[in-house]
Amino acid sequence: MSLWVDKYRPRSLDDLHYHAGLSARLRSLAASGDFPHMLFYGPSGAGKKTRITCTLRQLFGPGAEKLKIDQRVFMTPTKRKLDVNIVQSNFHIEITPSDVGIYDRVVIQEILKEIAQTQQVDLNARQRFKVVIINEADSLSRDAQAALRRTMEKYMSNMRIILCANSTSKLIAPIKSRCLLMRVAAPNTAEMQTCLQYVAKREKFDLPPEAAEEIIQDANGNLRKALLVLEALKMQSPDLTGPLAIAKPDWETYCNKVADMIVQEQTPSRVMEVRAKFYELLSHCIPPTVILKTVAERVVERVDESLKADVMHWAAIYEVRMRVGSKKIFHLEAWVVKIMSLYKQFVFGFSMDDFEA
Amino acid sequence: MFLKPQTTKAAPKHTVDPANQPWVEKYRPKTIDDVSAQEHIVAVLQKTLTSSNLPHMLFYGPPGTGKTSTILALSRQLFGPDNFRNRVLELNASDERGIAIVRDKIKNFARQTPRAQTVASDGKVYPCPPYKIIILDEADSMTQDAQSALRRIMETHARITRFCLVCNYVTRIIEPLASRCSKFRFKPLDTSSTSLRLQHISSTEQIPVSLPVIDTLISVSGGDLRRAITYLQSASRLSSSTSPPTEITSQDIHEIAGVIPNPVINSFAKVLGVDIIDDSGMDVDDGGRAKGFDAVRGKVKELMREGYSASQLLSQLHDLIVPHPTLSARQKSQCAMVIAEADKALCDGADEELWVLEVALKVHKFLA
């Protein structure tokens, strides 16, 4: 039995529940035979991937759903071997080049040239071109993006590229100007309500609107999360009535604890305790940015109004330092110390003018 | 792979359906006279067509100004379709261009003596001067090592080979290479020539495009002709794919270009205290300020959920604040500073939500 998220994932453009305008556009583009390169962007859980698979189905028919997973070996110029997993059907190929880190350029070049130089041999195929889907396009390195530029123009007759990204900020302008931008916004409350009710109906149980409302509040625009939570809750209490306890992930409760610790006491020994907690979180592979953002958000809830802006300001500053630097824990800690000193100064009523950056 | 035919010369077996070709390729200038708005450069290059002498060249300028088009058109005019394949080597960033390639491929190609001129098959006479051209497109993404490996090659084979480096940032080309070339700066296209070109394309493609739409295209693309043409093509695709075909509107262009609609920006600015003079909603006493933080954060969260890109948001906010009539110069410069800082942070890969929030809070504070 598969998860509800996958079980009730819309398969065709007609089944999509929201962004009807976008679906209509995709449908007409797929029908016109003049399909451009595309860039789907939007927050996670908004349905980018679903829309891409639906578009593929619209383009190529059900054949596009017969997927096989391939493991390919690439060779870097320095004779290093890279293993990459590739999902492909007869009509498209899907890669996540950021898996291989700084060597993504090699993978992009190899795969695209290979696809671009072979024509569709199947005479019954609906389209003459193949589609390359590049996931997490915003984490592609500059080199890899530069490698895409000319290829996208040159081999337009044999191939189309669909990029999938969270934001367009990290894509270079030449790529953006070659693609048709498709913004997939997160669904609003009413739209999420419809989706949850639809799933409930298909699973043949009654979902009280209040419960759905609560789930939606918690999911914050992420439909995938909402559906997962719904399924988990259904397991816990089959009738879904009464007060719901939406289980927070462990790391989130842990982050809450850290925020409490910061606000309660501002001493060097407390910094050490916080540090231990941070290490724990990091060793469980929670991305440092997520840790910083979550803790900052909790701290903001607990401090005085006049401090809120500063907390976020320093969070932003230390977050970017964390990206540029190499040792994440240093910057997390520096931020904690900064916040503690700000808080203490505020409590003891010092002037803060000297500390404005 | 390396002696690749240009798009117009796709092998006869599988001709590219011109309808599916990107217009950028379809309307690439065929001769250097067709190149828009770079009169000075065209005049210089015209001479080389008659004199059969050509220096090494370095083309630089912002994207979409016709650098690649110019050199391709020039070499096509020099050699004609038959000799184009064996006389021109085009390498761009999608090809492997490390130091090994410079040492092998480029050196080997540079070394060959060009073959004797054959009679052109299409009956025209081409100058076909006794040298080959190596085009290094997007040369600013070549490594330093690869660039310095080129230095000597450029000199030793100067008799039979000319290099043309094409790049956006001339500062990324190492000095010894730059000094071996005559430099040509391509300036951003002015409005009138962009508009002429777009009108030409729309009339050839027989799509009705109104003047305001062309103005929108120009303002969105900012002197980048390729971008303008791509947007035009996407817009026409969208408009013709609906039934019945609708006319292209400025709004479509904005949508395609990923520009955030004005009402969204205005409401964001309003929350920050810009633009709309709204004393009732934006009280500056302590209570109003406290409300301010949550209001600002809520607005930022909402924008991020809509999936707008942070860099676009910042640049549009900047465009709104800088010419604003009522803000003081000091406030404007403070805002510009924080936006600049955020842009730097975004370039370093920082988290978008944090930095949009940071900008929003700062602007809110400065304007309070």
Q: What is the DSSP letter of B106?
A: I
Query: What is the C-alpha to C-alpha distance for residues A318 and A333, in angstroms, rounded to an integer?
Result: 9
Res A330: pLDDT: 92
Burial class (CB in 10 A: 0-12, 13-18, 19+), A276: exposed
Res A216: pLDDT: 87
| pLDDT per residue as tens, chain A (357 positions) | 688 888 888 888 888 888 888 888 888 888 876 788 889 988 888 889 999 999 988 888 888 888 889 888 888 878 888 888 888 888 888 988 878 878 888 888 888 888 877 777 666 677 778 889 999 888 888 888 888 887 787 777 788 899 999 888 888 877 887 888 888 888 888 888 888 888 888 888 888 888 888 888 888 888 888 888 888 888 877 776 666 677 778 888 889 999 999 888 888 899 999 999 999 899 988 888 889 999 998 998 888 888 888 899 999 999 999 988 888 899 999 999 999 998 888 888 765 555 554
Res B283: pLDDT: 39
Query: Do B37 and B170 sit in the same domain of this protein?
Result: yes
Is the pLDDT at B240 greater than 80? The verdict is no
Query: What is the C-alpha to C-alpha distance for residues B71 and B46, in angstroms, rounded to an integer?
Result: 12
| Residue B4 neighbours by CB under 8 Å, 6+ apart | B90
Beta bridge partners of B131: none
Res B342: pLDDT: 92
Contacts of A293 in chain B (CB under 8 A): 351, 353-354
For the beta carbon of residue A173, count every other beta carbon within 10 angstroms: 15
What burial letters (b/e) apply to B51-82, b meaning 16+ CB within 10 Å? eeebebbbbbbbbbbbbbbbbbbbbbbbbbbb
Q: Identify which of A36, A170, A176 has the shortest CB distance to residue B349.
A: A170
Q: Identify which of B93, B243, B352 has the shortest CB distance to residue A150.
A: B93
B21 touches chain A (CB under 8 A): yes
Query: Do B232 and B88 sit in the same domain of this protein?
Result: no
Chain B stretch 313-342, residues whose beta carbon is closer than 8 A to a beta carbon of chain A: none
Beta bridge partners of A84: A72
Beta bridge partners of B133: B88, B162
Query: Do B236 and B273 sit in the same domain of this protein?
Result: no
Query: Do B117 and B143 sit in the same domain of this protein?
Result: yes
- The count of C-alpha atoms lying within 13 angstroms of the C-alpha of A292, restricted to the half-sphere facing its C-beta, is 30
Residue where the block lists tokens 């404005």? A356
Query: Do B268 and B323 sit in the same domain of this protein?
Result: yes
Query: What is the C-alpha to C-alpha distance for residues B356 and B42, in angstroms, rounded to an integer?
Result: 45
What burial letters (b/e) apply to A3-16, b meaning 16+ CB within 10 Å? ebbeebbbeebeeb
Residue B19 and residue A34: Cβ atoms within 8 Å? yes
What burial letters (b/e) apply to A306-327, b meaning 16+ CB within 10 Å? ebbbbbbbbbbbbbbbbbeeee
CA distance B355 to chain A (A): 6
Residue A77 and residue B289: Cβ atoms within 8 Å? no
Query: Do B27 and B127 sit in the same domain of this protein?
Result: yes
Query: Do B297 and B350 sit in the same domain of this protein?
Result: yes
Question: Which CATH fold topology does A250-356 show?
Answer: Zinc Finger, Delta Prime; domain 3 (1.20.272)
- The residue among B156, B185, B214 that closes a domain is B185
Query: What is the C-alpha to C-alpha distance for residues A259 and A334, in angstroms, rounded to an integer?
Result: 15
Please indicate, yes or no, if residue B4 is contained in any of the structural domains.
Answer: no
Residue A169 and residue B20: Cβ atoms within 8 Å? no
Q: Identify which of B63, B305, B353 has the shortest CB distance to residue A185.
A: B305
Tell me which chain A residue has its CA closest to the CA of residue B17: A157
Query: What is the C-alpha to C-alpha distance for residues B89 and B110, in angstroms, rounded to an integer?
Result: 9
Mean pLDDT (whole number) for B53-73: 87
Query: What is the C-alpha to C-alpha distance for residues B179 and B164, in angstroms, rounded to an integer?
Result: 13
Query: Do B217 and B175 sit in the same domain of this protein?
Result: no
* pTM of the predicted structure, to 2 decimals: 0.79
Residue A323 and residue B350: Cβ atoms within 8 Å? yes
Contacts of B354 in chain A (CB under 8 A): 293, 296, 312, 315-316, 319
CA distance B234 to chain A (A): 7
Is the pLDDT at B268 greater than 60? The verdict is yes
Q: What angle do CA B82, B85, B87 make, to 5 degrees?
A: 95
Is the pLDDT at B288 greater than 60? The verdict is no
Which residue, among A235, A154, A216, has the nearest Cα to B93 in the 3D structure?
A: A154
Query: Do B112 and B214 sit in the same domain of this protein?
Result: no
Please indicate, yes or no, if residue B89 is contained in any of the structural domains.
Answer: yes
The answer to whether residues A117 and A123 touch, using CB atoms and an 8 Å cutoff, is: no
- The residue among B162, B185, B208 that closes a domain is B185
Query: Do B279 and B347 sit in the same domain of this protein?
Result: yes
| Strands A159-165 and A130-134, sheet pairing | parallel
Residue spans per domain, chain A: 4-183, 189-236, 250-356
B226 touches chain A (CB under 8 A): yes
Res B282: pLDDT: 44
Please indicate, yes or no, if residue B7 is contained in any of the structural domains.
Answer: no
B351 touches chain A (CB under 8 A): yes
Please report, for the domain that includes residue B276, its CATH number.
Answer: 1.20.272.10
Q: Which domain holds residue B224?
A: 191-257
- The count of C-alpha atoms lying within 13 angstroms of the C-alpha of B56, restricted to the half-sphere facing its C-beta, is 21
Query: Do B63 and B128 sit in the same domain of this protein?
Result: yes
Question: Which CATH fold topology does A4-183 show?
Answer: Rossmann fold (3.40.50)
Please indicate, yes or no, if residue B336 is contained in any of the structural domains.
Answer: yes
Please report, for the domain that includes residue B180, its CATH number.
Answer: 3.40.50.300
Number of domains in chain B: 3
The answer, yes or no, to whether ipTM is higher than 0.90 is no
Chain B stretch 161-220, residues whose beta carbon is closer than 8 A to a beta carbon of chain A: none
Query: Do B91 and B57 sit in the same domain of this protein?
Result: yes
Tell me which chain A residue has its CA closest to the CA of residue B225: A177
Please report, for residues A39, B221, B364, the alpha-carbon distance to residue B65 in angstroms, rounded to integers and kept in the order given: 24, 11, 39
Q: What would the pLDDT profile of B319-348 be if each residue is shown by its tens digit?
A: 888 888 888 888 899 999 999 999 998 888
- The residue among B215, B233, B257 that closes a domain is B257
Residue B10 and residue A157: Cβ atoms within 8 Å? yes
B225 touches chain A (CB under 8 A): no
Contacts of A305 in chain B (CB under 8 A): 286, 289-290, 293
Q: Tokens representing A45?
A: 């859980």
Lowest mean pLDDT among A237-246, B155-164, B170-179: A237-246
Contacts of B24 in chain A (CB under 8 A): 153
CA distance B172 to chain A (A): 15
B138 touches chain A (CB under 8 A): yes
Res B28: pLDDT: 86
Residue B311 and residue A169: Cβ atoms within 8 Å? yes
Query: What is the C-alpha to C-alpha distance for residues A319 and A229, in angstroms, rounded to an integer?
Result: 29
Please indicate, yes or no, if residue B360 is contained in any of the structural domains.
Answer: yes
The more confident residue out of B88 and B11 is B88
Please indicate, yes or no, if residue B71 is contained in any of the structural domains.
Answer: yes
Kindly report whether the peptide bond that precedes residue A208 is cis, defined as omega within 30 degrees of 0.
Answer: no
Contacts of A28 in chain B (CB under 8 A): 238, 241-243
Please indicate, yes or no, if residue B215 is contained in any of the structural domains.
Answer: yes
Please indicate, yes or no, if residue B10 is contained in any of the structural domains.
Answer: no
